Structure 1
Amino acid sequence: MYRYRLFLLMLLALVIGCKEEVLPKPKAQLRLEYDAPQQGELQTEYFMFSYNTNAKIKSNTETSLVLDYPEMKGEIYINYKKVDDNVDKLLSDAQKLSYEHSVKADGILEQPFVNEKNNVYGMFYEVSGNAASQAQFYVTDSTKNFITGALYFYTRPNYDSIYPAAAYLQNDIRGIMETLKWKN
């Protein structure tokens, strides 16, 4: 009788304990969509380029400007310098600035840029990981003009969270490099 009760109790526990199997939810990724870029032209005394008009132009002087993307909480800083027999130092400083982010970066991908038609040569650095800047670049004609630029977000750098915005703005930087023309 004792075994019979024990058997019934175990059978009852199995019947009551059997429920639908719980499966973990599949991993999902955040999908952010941004407006398609509308191109405008920006001109300074030294250079001109096409840019995404979704950006607001902040602190525009003849030698520096900031393209602000408030929706993405990001900014592209652009600085111009004249080359006075110091192109080697300017190149060294630009490369050094890009690699200062290697402490926090998971990787830095160098992409050379050459536009012989407009006499524009440079380098684009794509930074992955939780670095302060997700992209850096420089362009020059090697004799008169030199521009450096950097992408920063005014939020804590969490690469997984800012990746969609970083990829969008990196494309804008490439567009700036591709359309840049010197004025002198």
Structure 2
Amino acid sequence: MKKIIIPLFALFLTGCKDHYLPKPQAYLRLEYPSPKYVRSDIPVPFEFDKNTLSEPITSITSENNGQSLGVTINYPELKGTIYLTYKKVDDNLIDLLRDTQTLTQKHTLKADAIESNLFENPNNRVYGMFYEVGGNAASQSQFYATDSLNHFINGSLYFYAKPNYDSLYPAAVYLKNDIRRIMESLEWKD
């Protein structure tokens, strides 16, 4: 009887240990301050509200005698940049719209989904489209805005980090809200 009880007791003692499993890799919890906006003060044919978390806008490039302008809004804390491109409309609105939509559709190779939201602000003569790009695409958001007669802007959000949707998600949501604010506050200087 002792020969049976002692091995069972030893098995019972060794079999009751906790089994530890390695923890899965986790991501940092990123929280950003509530946005505070100021009016942009740059020499371009439009103005908008800009988040104070971004650096001052210093990068403005001009092509074709001011017919095309590039504006860069950097967010070093978020490792992201919003690129705005302004073009003068000269009977080329359909081409500008097609180019912008083609650029957005190029992200379908890596994107899980692309959701488009129509935007209209008749008081400021601003009409456009906002695209949310889901997944590990290079750009998480894109948009365009126009008055259909004289002005056209397209914008893109890019991160200078490897596209990993899970880790970029908090910053992408924060900057998507900034892009929406840019669209909502956009006014043309005529």
Global fold match (TM > 0.5):
yes
Change (3 A) 1:173 1:121: same
2:181 maps to which of 167, 175, 179: 175
Contact persistence 2:141–2:157 (CA under 8 A): yes
- Structure 2 gap segments, 5+ residues each: 63-68
Contact persistence 1:55–1:69 (CA under 8 A): yes
For residue 144 of structure 1, what is the amino acid of its counterpart? N
Deviating beyond 4 angstroms after TM superposition, the runs of 4 or more aligned structure 1 residues are 20-29
* Segment drifting more, 20-29 vs 149-158: 20-29
Contact persistence 1:58–1:68 (CA under 8 A): no
- Structure 1 gap segments, 5+ residues each: none
- Structure 2 CA distance for aligned equivalents of residues 99 and 174 of structure 1: 20
How far did residue 109 of structure 1 move?
Answer: 0.6
SS of match in other structure, 1:150: strand
- Asked if residue 135 in structure 1 is aligned to residue 144 in structure 2, the reply is no
2:31 maps to which of 30, 33, 42: 33
- Structure 2 CA distance for aligned equivalents of residues 76 and 27 of structure 1: 30
For residue 162 of structure 1, what is the amino acid of its counterpart? L
Contact persistence 1:138–1:147 (CA under 8 A): yes
Contact persistence 2:89–2:149 (CA under 8 A): yes
Identity of aligned residues (%): 53
Residue correspondences, number: 182
What is the CA deviation profile of residues 41-97 of structure 1, one whole-angstrom value per residue up to 9, with x for unaligned ones? Answer: 114331111110211124124621100000111000001000001100100101111
Change (3 A) 1:18 1:45: closer
- The equivalent residue for 2:81 is 75
- Please give the root-mean-square deviation of Cα atoms over the aligned residues, in Å: 2.1
- The equivalent residue for 1:96 is 102
Contact persistence 2:27–2:167 (CA under 8 A): no
1:5 maps to which of 3, 6, 27: 3
Question: TM-score when scaled to structure 2?
Answer: 0.88
Question: TM-score when scaled to structure 1?
Answer: 0.91
What is the CA deviation profile of residues 106-125 of structure 1, one whole-angstrom value per residue up to 9, with x for unaligned ones? Answer: 11010110001101000000
Higher Cα Rg, which structure: 1
